[in-house]
Amino acid sequence: MRNYTELDVWMEARKLVNAVYSGSNNYPKQETYRITIQIRRSAVSIASNIGEGRGRTSSKDTSHFVNIARGSLCELETQMVLSVDQKYIINKELESLIEQIVVCKKPLNGFIN
């Protein structure tokens, strides 16, 4: 079994975290402890749960944490759409993040199936 840090999905999740952090730097100050922290936590949760799942000894545990990662990915996607609604980011930024989200979703769905 490969180390989780060698998995493409984990590496892509790290890229997504970096993109989310960069993209959320310009959110309004009043959102620092609201949506900004929520989207960052969601993004970090994706990579963290992939790692934790691969660190588990049973396939049931692995599946559980990969499912949590997929849920966090959907949560992040929702928060990014809401960020456009609030005009914190523009559609072009959303499209770029959605592309990265899709890159993560496909292998996660493969893990789950």
Torsions phi, psi for 25 (to 5 deg): -65, -25
Could you tell me the CATH number of the domain that includes residue 86?
1.20.1440.60
| CA distances for 98 relative to 2, 53, 94, 113, angstroms | 28, 24, 6, 22
Number of folded domains in the chain? 1
- Mean pLDDT score of the chain: 93
Domain holding 98, by residue range, is: 4-112
Percentage of the chain with pLDDT > 90?
A: 78
Specify whether the CB–CB gap between 8 and 107 falls below 8 A.
Answer: yes
Q: Inform me whether the pLDDT recorded for 58 exceeds 90.
A: no
Q: Inform me whether the pLDDT recorded for 2 exceeds 70.
A: no
Helix (H), strand (E) at residue 70: helix 59-85
Of 62, 56, 18, nearest in space to 40 by CA:
18
- The pLDDT tens digits for 71-105 are 999 999 999 999 999 999 999 999 999 999 999 99
Percentage of the chain with pLDDT > 70?
A: 98
Which residues have CB under 8 Å from 105's CB, separation 6+? Answer: 70, 73
Q: Inform me whether the pLDDT recorded for 113 exceeds 80.
A: no
Which of residues 109 and 84 earns the better pLDDT score?
84
